[in-house]
Structure 1
Amino acid sequence: MKILIASDVHGSARFCSMLAERIAEEDPDTVLLLGDLLYHGPRNALPEQYDPMAVADTLNGFKQHIIAVRGNCEAEVDQMVLDFPCMADYTELVDAQGRTLFATHGHLWNPESLPYIAPGGAFLYGHTHKKQLEETGGILLVNPGSVSIPKDGSRSYAMFEDGVFSLKELSGDLLAEAELPSLR
């Protein structure tokens, strides 16, 4: 199971195009999008090359690989232009070893308000635009950061393969890695 995880594109055609290059290069089985795909939101400045329809067209090109959750900026109109479901508050994936990956945007559940996840699993979220890769209480907290409006210095995404999460800059350069905690 190879998963590319990205969040907070916020309608930037430029950085979505760079994400599409990473998707093509990484060749994941699944692209997991953690919300805030098309709209920039009232608290954010317009991202570079703001063009939500171009972002929708780019992402629709990967529709057969995408699993997406709703961010706080998603609206029903977004679903009208996206060819994959994007309105679920969360999704759960299970890896080959039976470990749960709970994926959400981060505005409903977050590290301060976690849903139940069995030890050895991971909590995947976006929303803060800040990368995170750390274990707490037997759960790995994973935030891929933001594709277009980072609040921690670099545009980024994450990869998951064989129980290992990698944080990468949008250029593809590796920033950090961490294994899922051992099953207890």
Structure 2
Amino acid sequence: MKVLITSDTHGRYDRLRAISLKHADKDYHLDAGDLVLTQAEMESLHLKAVKGNGDLYLDLPLQQIVIIDHKKFLLVHGHIQEVKYGLDKLIKLAEYIQVDYVIYGHTHERKLLEYNGITYINPGAISNIIPSYAIYENGKITFHQGV
């Protein structure tokens, strides 16, 4: 099972589309918000996404649970959990919901953390000078840069 994990596109549809096409063999594409795309652009990518603080006009949930490989993934942007100031609120939410993985964004900094049996993944940002994203495949997380 291959999952493309992205976040913080900030309108760079060209980059997000190129990365999606590069990983055309993916089974899922999960995005942690701040797409800042049109609804049509977002729908053309066939991804599951949540609303970031910049997604004012997209009809998306603030959080979403996705089951992949019998694992429970929590997808949030992170602004509501104030991840720029630490992961305490995000950790409490993840433990309360009892998930296996948490995918979040907002900070534009990639991060991989395992804490109390839960794996936290921030793929970085598509909008960074050098785009950053992650791949989940067969239980392993790898980070990638560029388009």
**TM-superposed deviation, 1:118:** 3.4
In structure 2, the partner of 1:102 is: 74
In structure 2, the partner of 1:7 is: 7
Higher relative contact order (CA 8 A, sep 6+): 2
In structure 1, the partner of 2:98 is: 118
Q: Which has the larger radius of gyration?
A: 1
Does structure 1 retain, via aligned residues, the 8 Å contact 2:31–2:49? yes
Q: In 2, Cα distance between the equivalents of 1:122 and 1:170?
A: 24
The answer to whether structure 1 residue 161 and structure 2 residue 137 are counterparts is: yes
SS in 1 for 2:88: coil
1:74-153 aligned at under 5 Å gives the runs 74-75=55-56, 78-79=57-58, 86-96=59-69, 98-109=70-81, 110=83, 111-113=87-89, 114=91, 115=93, 116-118=96-98, 121-149=100-128
TM-score by length of 2: 0.82
* Structure 1 alignment gaps of length 5 or more: 39-51, 80-85, 172-184
The root-mean-square deviation of aligned C-alpha atoms, in Å, is 2.0
In structure 2, the partner of 1:83 is: none
Q: In 2, Cα distance between the equivalents of 1:165 and 1:131?
A: 12
Amino acid aligned to 1:7: S
The answer to whether structure 1 residue 21 and structure 2 residue 18 are counterparts is: yes
> C-alpha deviations, 1:94-138, integer Å up to 9, x for none?
222x2211110011234221212537x111100011000121121
* Structure 2 alignment gaps of length 5 or more: none
Q: How many residues align?
A: 138
Q: In 2, Cα distance between the equivalents of 1:106 and 1:100?
A: 18
Structure 1's consecutive aligned runs of 4 or more residues displaced over 6 angstroms after TM superposition are none
Does structure 1 retain, via aligned residues, the 8 Å contact 2:9–2:16? no
